[in-house]
Structure 1
Amino acid sequence: MQAALALVFNAFVWGISWFPFRQIASHGLHPLWATCLIYLVIAAAMGLLRRHAWKGFAAFPMLALLGLAAGSTNVGFNWAVTQGDVVRVVLLFYLMPLWSVLLGWLLLGTGFVFANVCLQYGAARLTAAATSVIMLSEVLFASVSSVALGAATMEPRILLGGALIVLGAVWSAFARTPGRSDDRASSPT
């Protein structure tokens, strides 16, 4: 149960992460510049506090390209949630790669650290099928928070699309694997 709650907390944090960027944008700072400033502050802090961390970039130059790709993805997401319908944006960006989680931690603070620890804790103790279904609650948190805070309206076709996504995930989670190796058997940890 703790593992599932940890995943739900992680989904909640990510599901409402659009709100601070909307607030910043409403005060006149474009999300592109807000994201760039966050990256610069983090890079400066890393340069001062963890000088040895930069050695990784020297040893593995492709990390810089990975960082640029991850940063571009975050800029796209941050910009999209300030300009578009939060529910649609979250659904479109739901399959962002795992490294964006790490950048979210760097960019958006310690709440994301705890959320990511919860993600790791829950995912390590539940099957992939269970984890994927529980993580869909992020879409629920993003949808409910955006409607509650007046950033979106819930239309029937969006409800239908979300319901189909959840139905597909639940269906795949409860599908039996033929033979002895049932993929739903939880690990003892």
Structure 2
Amino acid sequence: MPIFRSSLLPAAIAALINATVWGLAWLPLKWLQAHGVASMWVTLCVFSACTMAVLAVRPTALLRTLKMPQLLWLMLASGMTNVCFNVSLATGDVVRSILLFYLMPMWVVVLARWLLHEPITAAAITRIALALLGAVLVLGEGRLVLPLPSSVADWLAVVAGFSFGLNNVLLRRFADLPDDVRSLAMFSGAVVLSPIAIGALFLFGEAPQWAPQDMAWLVLLAFALAVLVGNLALQYGATRLRANVLSVLMLAEILVASLSSWWAGTAELPPSTLLGGLLIISASLLAITARGPAPQAAH
């Protein structure tokens, strides 16, 4: 499909809409967590709605997806991304969760070497060093310590970023598969993994709360619609923008999340976090400029 210059501005706005949706996702997640709906239930409801939307538009996608067992890995990677990321946002510090999630370029270097046999170059090592130094500053709060997460929310953010990196590498590996089956696999991953995680918590006596108050249903519906609109906007932008441009625009999620949580008084931005964030963003920007066009993840 030819790309006209006049379509670039709407495509850029669409990509920013997606970044804004996920940059503000902490608001409904934390609100619902405080009003009777644990984040894993939110994830299950939201991505079930998105999965049904894909099937409503492409009813044959399910049968074709079942015929491609390799998509199971993409489903698992995407499901882990969304389950871990949403729980981290709902229960942890928003800025820390977002920054640790965006360590993703560091994981991509290792995963691309393993799964795509891409060489580890000097530039790749530089990106890893920047991301690790950023993680040291964020996790150590300015102290040079071993960058190990200190809370469950931090660990979940790191796992989510690793899973998102795996998701991106698998998208590149499965680039020749139809868009609708890949989208269905990614959306349905959270639908499959959320009940498993909920069931495991039940077994350990830590059942996630499900006692929605009246207003919670409206917020849940609004969040589901926002995620659907955000992902549709991403699909529109991804078909009209170069991959490196789209990736830069997606980094707006960090800015939106950081400023909104700081303005709301739910997060602090000490100098060490700001500097660590700049290093992590720098690693992401270097990764963007280092690679050519690649399929984009639905997040």
TM-score computed with the length of structure 2 as normaliser: 0.47
- Residues 73 and 131 of structure 1: CA distance in aligned 2, closer, same or farther (over 3 Å): closer
CA distance in 2, matches of 1:162, 1:31: 25
Q: In 2, are the aligned partners of 1:105 and 1:112 still within 8 Å (CA)?
A: no
- Residues 38 and 8 of structure 1: CA distance in aligned 2, closer, same or farther (over 3 Å): closer
Give the C-alpha shift of residue 142 in structure 1: 1.0
- Residues 103 and 92 of structure 1: CA distance in aligned 2, closer, same or farther (over 3 Å): farther
Correspondent of 1:152 among 254, 257, 267? 267
Give the C-alpha shift of residue 174 in structure 1: 7.0
Correspondent of 1:75 among 63, 69, 83? 83
- Residues 85 and 65 of structure 1: CA distance in aligned 2, closer, same or farther (over 3 Å): same
**1:128 corresponds to which letter in structure 2?**
A
Match in the other structure for 2:133 = none
Correspondent of 1:91 among 85, 88, 99? 99
Report whether the alignment pairs 1:121 with 2:236.
yes
CA distance in 2, matches of 1:166, 1:55: 40
Correspondent of 2:28 among 12, 17, 20? 20
- Name whichever of 8-17 and 96-105 sits farther off: 96-105
Query: C-alpha offsets along residues 33-53 of structure 1, whole Å, 9 cap, x if unaligned?
Result: 4434556x649968x979866
CA distance in 2, matches of 1:128, 1:9: 17
**2:226 corresponds to which letter in structure 1?**
G
Query: C-alpha offsets along residues 119-175 of structure 1, whole Å, 9 cap, x if unaligned?
Result: 233333333222222211111011111112232111111111222334455567678
Q: In 2, are the aligned partners of 1:129 and 1:172 still within 8 Å (CA)?
A: no
Correspondent of 1:138 among 245, 253, 259? 253
Correspondent of 1:29 among 16, 22, 37? 37
Match in the other structure for 2:226 = 111
CA distance in 2, matches of 1:24, 1:56: 35
Q: Secondary structure at the match of 1:109?
A: helix
CA distance in 1, matches of 2:10, 2:289: 21
CA distance in 1, matches of 2:50, 2:252: 32
Identity, % of aligned positions? 39
- Residues 124 and 59 of structure 1: CA distance in aligned 2, closer, same or farther (over 3 Å): closer
Aligned pair count reads 176
CA distance in 2, matches of 1:104, 1:18: 21
Give the C-alpha shift of residue 28 in structure 1: 3.6
Q: Secondary structure at the match of 2:239?
A: helix
Match in the other structure for 1:187 = none
Report whether the alignment pairs 1:164 with 2:279.
yes
Query: C-alpha offsets along residues 48-70 of structure 1, whole Å, 9 cap, x if unaligned?
Result: 97986653464345556654543
TM-score computed with the length of structure 1 as normaliser: 0.69
Match in the other structure for 1:59 = 67
